[in-house]
Structure 1
Amino acid sequence: MKKVSAYALSATLLAGTLFTSCTSVKNASNTQKAAVVGATAGAVLGGVLGNNVGSKNNSALGAVLGGVIGGTAGAIVGKNMDKQAQEIETALPGAQVERVGEGIKVVLNENTVNFNFDSAELTQTATSNLDKIAKVFKQNPRTYIVIYGYTDSVGKDEYNMKLSRSRANAVKSYLGSKGIGVKRISAQGMGEADPIATNDTKEGQAKNRRVEFGIMADQDMIEDARKEAARY
């Protein structure tokens, strides 16, 4: 992956500490080790969420951390998400893809899906790239997708919130037109919150006019993972 989340890394490091301090785990199977990692990650990520719930920042990050499964089932879900994250990176090399916990965060920047100033209309570049990611979503039907729309800081807060919502809904509608079930997708406007670049320059403003995805396992994937985990 292009980036490794500090939250996921913290969970892995803490789990690693448990491995080195407990001799009984040294002889465990890979699945048993995965269960320890999953359970520990669940505890750490749950703590992270507890400190960030209610914050507008890092919404896609919060979405993918919000449904911590943990244990062996969480490890199985994580393996499925590893595969999907790699497919997204291959389909959209310009996107920022992060595997976080048991989900995926995707930032579609100015080179993939961006918007002109004061516009929620998808550009030709945007639709072309959404076509690519739509193929990945169709190949991985057992996920939920939360779309977050953003603006730059020019204009009033209320107007920007409405515009960002329109941007998120534009992406949702387009994905729906490509065969992605609308029940899998939700859209939310974030206004000018959580900028990824300075709003003091035109270039920075263009980067902030973006969408982000939070991708999580749906109930079918979770139940299948739990059934598989029960066999160990």
Structure 2
Amino acid sequence: MKNLRSFFALLLAVLLLGTSVVQAQDTPRTKKPMSKTLKGGLLGAGGGAVVGGVLGRVIGGKNSTAGGAIIGAAVGGSAGALIGRRMDKQAAELQREMAGAKVERVGEGIKITFDSGILFAKNSSSLTPAAQENIRELAQTLIKYGDTNVLVEGHTDNTGTDAINNPLSQRRAQAVANYAQAQGVDASRFQVSGYGSRQPIADNSTEAGRRANRRVEVAIYANEKLKKAAERGTI
């Protein structure tokens, strides 16, 4: 509850800051009043990175997730709406093709969560045949929609030591990225991180919680080329 109150307090501060920027642009010194579309874009872009970071840390405790990264990259306004519609289509295709993953629309992007038990054998970073099939489907969609960045994050539960979990999570995330790149996805689009057990999304004191924490998350969000096209209204 304390974290939630902190989040809303910070969110209010961000919105007030964005509003003050917009109002400053609409003072009598401004020759032309700012359009509603531009106001929305400023509020979205100005608050996106801050709110994204807050979401990652407040909703998930001190943690930052792929979902927070997507929100932090948002542009907002009419451009954000155009990007969102494009992501709707891409997410629908992924949901149809990827039976072994959870596909979610988050903000102006897509978050995909793979259960590590589907991707890898225990204590291994070698992809299973089922994992390879899912990542092939992911790769085909990434190739079709080439104007996105891709963040891949590996996570473990808290069993074992950091000396084991941290490099294992990194290797698993890298294995997913490497396989997608082997299918033809440009390597320059990827950012890969391993967080070990530092970003739990469930209670590590239960088996169900530990299983949920053993995962690979993929965030897909607009690159600069797509953002500029959306701002021009040409997508």
Q: Cα RMSD between the aligned structures?
A: 3.2
Count of aligned pairs between the two proteins = 203
Give 1:198 deviation, angstroms: 4.2
CA distance in 2, matches of 1:122, 1:66: 30
Q: How far is 1:220 from its partner? A: 1.5
1: CA distance, partners of 2:98 / 2:196: 25
The answer to whether the 8 Å contact 1:148/1:213 transfers is: yes
Compute the displacement of 1:67 (Å).
1.4
1:48 to 48, 51, 54: 51
Structure-1 residue corresponding to 2:190: 185
Cα distance in 2 between the residues matched to 1:80 and 1:56: 31
**Cα deviation, residue 144, structure 1:** 0.6
- In the TM superposition, what are the counterparts of 1:61-80 in structure 2 within 5 Å? 61-80=67-86
1:214 paired with 2:216, answer no
Counterpart in the other structure of 1:87? 93
1:119 aligns with 2:124: yes
Where do residues 101-180 of structure 1 align in structure 2 (5 Å cutoff)?
A: 101-110=107-116, 113-180=118-185
208, 212, 224: which one pairs with 2:229?
A: 224
Q: Contact between 1:56 and 1:193, CA under 8 Å: does it hold in 2?
A: no
TM-score by length of 2: 0.73
- Is the 1:157–1:191 contact (alpha carbons within 8 Å) kept by the matching residues of 2? yes
CA drift at 1:196: 3.8
Q: In structure 1, give the amino acid aligned to 2:69.
A: A
Q: Which moved more, 1:126-135 or 1:203-212?
A: 203-212
Structure 2's unaligned 5+ residue stretches are 1-7, 16-34
- For the structure 1 residues 43 and 218, does the alpha-carbon distance in structure 2 shift closer, same or farther, using more than 3 Å as the test? closer
183-192 or 220-229, which moves further after superposition? 220-229
* 3-state DSSP of counterpart to 2:166: helix
Q: Residue by residue, what CA displacement relative to the aligned partner does 1:47-103 show, whole Å, maximum 9, x if unpaired?
A: 533535677624201210121212211111111111111111111144222212111
Match of residue 22 from structure 1: none
CA contact (8 A) 1:122 1:170 kept: yes
Question: Is the 1:147–1:212 Cα contact (8 Å) retained in structure 2?
Answer: yes
Conserved 8 A contact 1:114-1:206 = no
Percent identity reads: 37
Give the whole-Å Cα distance in 1 for the aligned partners of 2:38 and 2:103. 25
Whether the 8 Å contact between 2:116 and 2:216 is mirrored in structure 1 is no
Give the CA deviation at 1:161: 0.8
Which amino acid counterpart does residue 75 of structure 2 have in structure 1?
A: I
Q: Which 4+ residue blocks in structure 1 deviate beyond 4 angstroms?
A: 32-47, 52-56, 200-204
Cα deviations by residue, 1:105-125 (Å, 9 ceiling, x for unpaired): 1111257x4322211111111
Per-residue deviation, 1:193: 2.6
**For 1:137 and 1:149, how far apart are their aligned partners in 2?**
19
- 1:178-222 C-alpha deviation (Å, 9 max, x unpaired): 001100111100101333444445555444322100111112111
Question: Unmatched 5+ residue regions in structure 1?
Answer: 1-6, 15-31
Conservation of the 8 A alpha-carbon contact between 1:147 and 1:211: yes
Tell me, what secondary structure is at the counterpart of 1:191?
Answer: coil
Q: Which amino acid aligns with 1:57?
A: N
SS in 2 for 1:179: coil
